Structure 1
């Protein structure tokens, strides 16, 4: 990477292993020279400062969509690519993409299932699942943790909540991995074609489950979304498909990454795991510190809905800006020694789940999963250590591992 502090511009190759394997080093350099910068390759302004990112996430002059207030012609935007038409259709009513009033209506219908008091009831199921998975490899003395543990827990739990058969887990993972490649920096035509196929198959499958739930309602989130009205309105078929897909994707993809990231960080930190997880308070602080320093999702983008000036940069309606949540978590103006894992911190809350109206609806579930499964893993496998250097996925602006090979002394 190269940085021109005077011009507030930076050139960063997001496909370089030097960057995506350790983005925190690049973020530290940006904080030192130009926390607000124009990323040459992305042709967009980016914010890394904690206060700016936190404020922009809540600033209603900026939104996740723009075409609800202006046409493509008005903004000079090209027509959508037809080779990803089904992907765009699956995204059209995504909670991540909508603005009020549509966002408010959809979120109100879904939110009840994700509030902390409801999610907390899943703790026994989580404990049982984590222990059952560890039972399958504990005697071996080694494991590739992502495929044997981290991949399985979040997708199983979100499938149970929504009402998708658990045996669909492996297929959901395949669709999700292909689907999210549309969000990668430097995506290829092959990435787009794969995401289009995944979106088509994913949507077709969800429609069959919706039809089955209409005929045979159950006590699950999908049935709730189908049969509950908000101010006299029910969700349409397209809204149900988009909402189900985004909940399945967001409900497991980031948590898979975060389980792997957290385990790696703890093993590299030199801390004794038994001390990090000795009670609920220390466990919670350990989880929050791991979310701060190795967040699974790094960037959220916003459209300027009206003219605005932020940190001396003028934006007109239709401009796009990017907020690097993971870099905001490392702001030296907010966090002392920000690149160091310190679970005893009592500083600003991390921004890994966003803020404002688009604060991650699944945050209570993700936090519960991390607070439950990490202590169980380290308690069940004393002496746990890295068997080899972990491989980081080339999936920026997500951050996770391809593999996490571990071993422990046999007993």
Structure 2
């Protein structure tokens, strides 16, 4: 039997797990823990989180699509009925910005918002941005190529996704650094290590973010342009336009989701490719090889690990009974390592052609920005390795002290 690390205990008989998510040995390399969970009990109760979690590919895939579970619960039950506390006063601005978030609502509101936004993100529209993405990536590489070394996140990975999503929505590119600061504070609300200071920072940034978006909305109402924000303002769905609050929430979630995870994925992908010792030229030999390589990096080092659901009715899954109002967590990154779907799941194999990874989710909340993220990865990763032959790591990659996102603090490279 494999010896478990000291931050993890598993009782398969009760499917109970004790796991310290703050331990650097866990968040630095969560895949090893996921492998242990698959071997012992892929459905488990995480004692510290007081919640049931699912790791198995088939369960996670099914639950993402199961309409007996949803992203919200208060549309069908009151806080009093469910025994939920009242919202905290110090996160009122954050809660307001989230109220109409595509990630947090259910049909029919979700259907209306997603229908208005979806057209801009379908592959045929996104692919028109290929030239712009390549031009930006080449320009950034031009800026550090002669140095022989760079810190990839600050000079490359941070810049491309935020620039492209800002252009798409209609936010001035020079706002990029400020958008990154707001976004980093905002997503702090989703981390397991969240403190009162994190909550205060998220609330402050949510207010500043929303106030800024209001000014851009007012400008686009007066002077529409050929951008997504103008489209959302001036397009109706079944006779209805988006309200001001819906516009603000949708713009914020698109800006956050449109770059935060992709920044992590660029860094994670470069790291896993370099650590594999495999030949990058073979991985990016043609479009088909590139696509397989990108999907394998998404499988083995996904940037977002957990998606949560509320039970909308009493239901049993894998022998676990849930009552209406119970919360469950689906570990997307662990589902990608299910040995029943992916033989030798901890090994990076760019030639894999097995099950689809679940890094973008599934069902009605499947990531709306997936076509853009995939396009960016399929363009910028080959460019990096082509433009910088001999690319290698110039130091130990520093993993961010956060869970459940997984990304690097810095990635020092040389060539």
> TM class, shorter-chain normalised?
over 0.9
Please give the residue correspondences for 1:312-323 in structure 2 after superposition, counting only pairs within 5 Å.
312-323=319-330
Distance in 1 of aligned mates of 2:230 and 2:18: 48
1:7 aligns to what?
14
Distance in 2 of aligned mates of 1:289 and 1:84: 38
Matching of residue 399 in structure 1 with residue 406 in structure 2: yes
* Distance apart, 1:394 and its partner CA: 1.0
Matching of residue 65 in structure 1 with residue 72 in structure 2: yes
Matching of residue 294 in structure 1 with residue 271 in structure 2: no
Pick one of 175, 186, 197 that aligns with 2:193.
Answer: 186
Moved >2 Å (runs of 4+): none
Residue 193 of structure 2 contacts residue 403 of structure 2 at CA under 8 Å; is this kept in 1? Answer: no
Pick one of 83, 106, 112 that aligns with 1:99.
Answer: 106
Matching of residue 204 in structure 1 with residue 204 in structure 2: no
Pick one of 127, 139, 149 that aligns with 1:132.
Answer: 139
Please give the residue correspondences for 1:34-49 in structure 2 after superposition, counting only pairs within 5 Å.
34-49=41-56
Matching of residue 119 in structure 1 with residue 126 in structure 2: yes
* Distance apart, 1:186 and its partner CA: 2.7
Distance in 1 of aligned mates of 2:214 and 2:368: 23
Distance in 2 of aligned mates of 1:245 and 1:13: 31
Distance in 2 of aligned mates of 1:186 and 1:141: 36
Please give the residue correspondences for 1:6-405 in structure 2 after superposition, counting only pairs within 5 Å.
6-405=13-412
Distance in 1 of aligned mates of 2:13 and 2:193: 27
* Distance apart, 1:15 and its partner CA: 1.1
Distance in 2 of aligned mates of 1:182 and 1:225: 27
Per-residue CA distance 1:28-68 (angstroms, 9 max, x = gap)? 00001010000011000000000000000000000000000
Q: Which runs of 5+ in 2 are unaligned?
A: 1-7
Distance in 1 of aligned mates of 2:402 and 2:374: 23
* Distance apart, 1:329 and its partner CA: 0.1
* Distance apart, 1:395 and its partner CA: 1.6
| Alignment length (residue pairs) | 408
Q: TM-score, normalising length from structure 2?
A: 0.98
Q: Which runs of 5+ in 1 are unaligned?
A: none
Q: Give the root-mean-square deviation of aligned CA atoms.
A: 0.4
Distance in 2 of aligned mates of 1:61 and 1:307: 9
Residue 315 of structure 2 contacts residue 322 of structure 2 at CA under 8 Å; is this kept in 1? Answer: yes
Residue 308 of structure 2 contacts residue 330 of structure 2 at CA under 8 Å; is this kept in 1? Answer: yes
Per-residue CA distance 1:184-204 (angstroms, 9 max, x = gap)? 013100000000011010000
Distance in 1 of aligned mates of 2:201 and 2:46: 27
Per-residue CA distance 1:224-268 (angstroms, 9 max, x = gap)? 000000000000000000000000000000000000000000000
Distance in 2 of aligned mates of 1:159 and 1:25: 36
Distance in 2 of aligned mates of 1:97 and 1:108: 16
Secondary structure, counterpart of 2:268 in structure 1: helix
Distance in 1 of aligned mates of 2:25 and 2:285: 36
Secondary structure, counterpart of 1:67 in structure 2: coil
Per-residue CA distance 1:344-396 (angstroms, 9 max, x = gap)? 11110000000000000000000000000000000000000000010000121
Distance in 1 of aligned mates of 2:198 and 2:73: 25
